[in-house]
Amino acid sequence: MNGYFRRPAGVKDYLPPKVRKKRRIEKVIVEIFEKWGYEEVIAPSFEYLETFGKTGKSVAEKVFKFFDRHGEAMALRPDITTSIARMVATHYSNHREPLRFYYLGNVFRFQEPRKGRDQEFYQIGCELMGIAGLEADVEIILLASHILEQIGIKDFLINIGHTKFLEGLLDELDDNPSLKDSIAQAIKEKNFVWLKNLMEESNTKPDIKNKFLALPGFYGGAEIFHELEKLPSNKKCTEALSELKRVWNMLKQFTSIQLTFDPGLARGMDYYTGIVFEIYSPKSGFPLGGGGRYDSLLDNFNGYRPATGFALTEDVILSILEGDMEDIYEPYYLYYNPSKYMEAFQKAEELRRQGYIVKMVPDKNV
């Protein structure tokens, strides 16, 4: 006996009762993806480190790196969307029709496990590539909602935003890029105190400053749009707001979807370029998933292709649902005397043909 059976921090062992529930949920989700015309792909678990160069700073810090035999730097995928973008660049460069893909896979991120975050966790997601119109954003959000409803998550809330809205607002500031980055960060984190300090450093006119100071408070329903129209504005902001309103109005036709709007919504990835969203439930402290438009990610590989998608964090969903799921597992235990194994085996086979799950167990007293 020794200590070699420690499990690394932030990774999980899935034992059979949990796996059965996980597979049941996946089956429902896969059927929906298939019906909606999404086709499954499987990406490699690692890519060249540089492939994830555009995934985002906050993710780059969390990448597990290693070197291959030839000394080239590899990265365990921290995100599957980037891998799929690379796959599309490799295999579909001449394909111009919309592409719809889904995946079930694990991702890897250096994280502090004591904060409840895993270093390896499972995602289920999809990508819709080749449709520039807002209806693709709507399809993706409807699909995510439909999946959550079908697997039995009743009380989720979808928070939407637009990357260009905050970008446009920041263009109105007369500050250096580093200060602008900090201001953006303070708004994303809804950190009023930090934002106030930053605004004191800012060279921007006082009336615009005051409007910025109000920003972290903007979060809610359709009434927010009116408030936002009072803010400093330019073409970028106006277009972003207009896109948000159109998506909002289409989604509002589905009364089952609870929507909120957050102008400072930021997802962890740097590749988003339009409508973004994050999904929450009162039953978990972690988002259930999220996604958005990433029209320029494919530019990093082999040319522009509009794209949007989302990923659900399967482990969060499983933790919400598993308590209410029954584990139905009723095997037939067939006890046999080892000296008469072959007879018992024939009996087991007969029972299996009849549909039973048969576990053979040696017992000298039989």
Footprint of its own copies on 151-210 (CB under 8 A): none
Site string for its own copies, 63-92 (x = CB under 8 A): -xxx-xx--x-x-x---------xx-xxx-
Instruction: Name the E strands within 236-331.
Output: 258-261, 275-280, 289-293, 307-313
Q: Does 335 bind its own copies (CB under 8 A)?
A: no
Query: Which of 267, 359, 365, 366 touches its own copies (CB under 8 A)?
Result: 359
Question: How far apart are CB 57 and its own copies at their closest, in Å?
Answer: 17
Residue (48 or 223) nearer to its own copies, CB: 48
Query: Which of 45, 233, 258, 284 touches its own copies (CB under 8 A)?
Result: 45
Residue (205 or 352) nearer to its own copies, CB: 352
Query: Which of 58, 110, 232, 239 touches its own copies (CB under 8 A)?
Result: 110
**DSSP states of 323-341:** GGS-----PEEEEE-GGGH
Q: Kindly indicate which of the ranges 181-189, 217-225, 266-274, 329-337 contains the residues binding its own copies, using the contact rule CB under 8 A.
A: 329-337
Q: Does 116 bind its own copies (CB under 8 A)?
A: no
> CA of 234: how far to CAs of 180, 218, 231, 306, 340, in Å?
17, 19, 10, 24, 84
Amino acid type, 37: G
CA distance 185 to 238: 21
Q: Which two tokens stand for residue 31?
A: 């059927």
Contact assessment for residue 301 and residue 85, using Cβ atoms and an 8 Å cutoff: yes
Kindly state the number of chain residues that form the binding site for its own copies, as judged by CB under 8 A: 84
CA distance 334 to 170: 71
Q: Does 139 bind its own copies (CB under 8 A)?
A: yes
Question: How far apart are CB 336 and its own copies at their closest, in Å?
Answer: 8
- Helix or strand run (H / E) with residue 359: strand 358-362
Q: Return the residues of window 285-314 that contact its own copies according to CB under 8 A.
A: 300-303
Q: Kindly indicate which of the ranges 106-114, 164-172, 219-227, 277-285 contains the residues binding its own copies, using the contact rule CB under 8 A.
A: 106-114
How would you classify the pairing of strands 99-108 and 358-362? unpaired
Query: Which of 2, 178, 255, 365 touches its own copies (CB under 8 A)?
Result: 2
- Helix or strand run (H / E) with residue 182: helix 177-188
Residue (181 or 349) nearer to its own copies, CB: 349
Q: What is the number of other CB atoms lying within 10 angstroms of the CB of residue 255?
A: 6
Residue (28 or 357) nearer to its own copies, CB: 357
